[in-house]
Amino acid sequence: MNKLIVSLLLTLGITGAAVAAEGPLKGDATAGQAKAAVCGACHGPDGNSPAPNFPKLAGQGERYLTKQMHDIKDGKRTVLEMTGLLTNLSDQDLADIAAYFASQKGSVGAADPKLVDKGQALFQGGKLAEDQPIGGMPACKACHIAGGSGLAEAGFPHLSGQHAQYTAKQLKDFREKVRSIDGDASNKMMTDIAAKLSDKDIEALSSYIQGLH
């Protein structure tokens, strides 16, 4: 396994142990349904967003969802559409909302047939260094699994079926370090990986992920 991935897993494992010792909040999906009502305007009532620029949340891992909401609430991650929406929510509220969306079934998308081969090669096999001085890109499946289900316990997000438009924007934001959090190991890993992707790579990869199931 890629040394970077092994290092990240060890870091996440240590972090996870510390959180466990503190007693992480357990989300209540039933309570979360009511609390997530306002989220439905953009993400869909069950987390299956009908708009390609808003992410699908259905089936996403609780740990990942909770972290993203905390990062947005704390100002570590900027999402203009989310400004102020989480301000008055407690940690328990966020845990409940995450549990609700995690319990929902994600919808299936479709990939552009012309981009499948390239997208599949990148996701399942990575990218060789070619002439790039910064080296090659590890396969996405190393952290997100071959079927795109992710590793919920490690905080690696579920990707399969995600809107191509949203995924492409996130990859470009990682590449340009627009989505960058100091001291966040998983975030740094994504900025390093995205730096190796061209616009064409991102287009193919995002399309493939949309149709992955």
70 is in an annotated binding site: no
Indicate whether 33 and 85 sit together in one domain.
yes
Give the range among 37-46, 129-138, 156-165, 170-179 with minimum mean pLDDT.
129-138
Closest CA to 211 of 114, 142, 133: 114
Mean of the per-residue pLDDT values of the chain:
89
What is the percent of the chain where pLDDT is above 70?
85
**Cβ count within 10 A of residue 30:** 11
pLDDT band for position 128 (cuts 50, 70, 90): confident
Q: Tell whether 189 is in a known binding site.
A: no
Residue 134 is predicted with a pLDDT of 54
pLDDT digits (tens, 9 = 90+) for 55-69: 999 999 999 999 999
Report, as an integer, the average pLDDT of 64-93: 96
- pTM of this structure: 0.86
**In CATH, what number is assigned to the domain containing residue 149?**
1.10.760.10
Among residues 21, 18, 57, the alpha carbon closest in space to that of 150 is found at 57
Query: In the structure encoding, which two tokens stand for residue 10, read together?
Result: 């060890």
Domain that holds residue 89: 24-102
Verify that 40 and 93 share a domain, yes or no.
yes
Residue 134 and residue 207 in one domain: yes
- Side chain identity, residue 6: V
Contact by Cβ (8 Å): 150, 158: yes
Residue 163 counted as an annotated binding residue: no
Confidence band (pLDDT; 50, 70, 90) for 209? very high
Percent of the chain past pLDDT 90, that is, above it, reads 79
The answer to whether residue 156 sits within a structural domain is: yes
Which residues have a Cβ under 8 Å from the Cβ of 174 and sit 6 or more positions away?
180, 187, 190, 191, 193, 194
- 150 plus 204 within the same structural domain: yes
User: How far is Cα 206 from Cα 204, in angstroms, rounded to an integer?
Assistant: 6
Q: Are residues 66 and 151 in the same domain?
A: no
pLDDT tens, residue by residue, 20-51: 334 578 999 999 999 999 999 999 999 999 99
Q: What is the model's pLDDT at position 21?
A: 39
Tell me: is residue 137 an annotated ligand-binding position. Answer: no
| 90 or 20, greater pLDDT | 90
Query: 134 and 57 in one domain?
Result: no
Contact between 110 and 209 under an 8 Å Cβ cutoff? The reply is no
> Is 1 annotated for ligand binding?
no
Local confidence band at 112 (pLDDT 50, 70, 90 cut-offs): very high
DSSP 50-86: SSTTS---TT--HHHHHHHHHHHHTTSS--GGGTTTS
The reply to whether 143 sits in an annotated binding site is yes
Residue 177 has pLDDT above 60, yes or no: yes
> Is residue 110 scored above 80 in pLDDT?
yes
> What is the domain count for the chain?
2
Cα–Cα distance between 203 and 151 in angstroms, integer?
24
43 is in an annotated binding site: yes
Other C-beta atoms lying within 10 Å of the C-beta of residue 177: 12
Confidence of residue 132 (pLDDT cuts 50, 70, 90): low
| Tokens 């900025």 -> residue | 191
Mean pLDDT of 95-111: 97
Residue that wins the pLDDT comparison between 125 and 19: 125
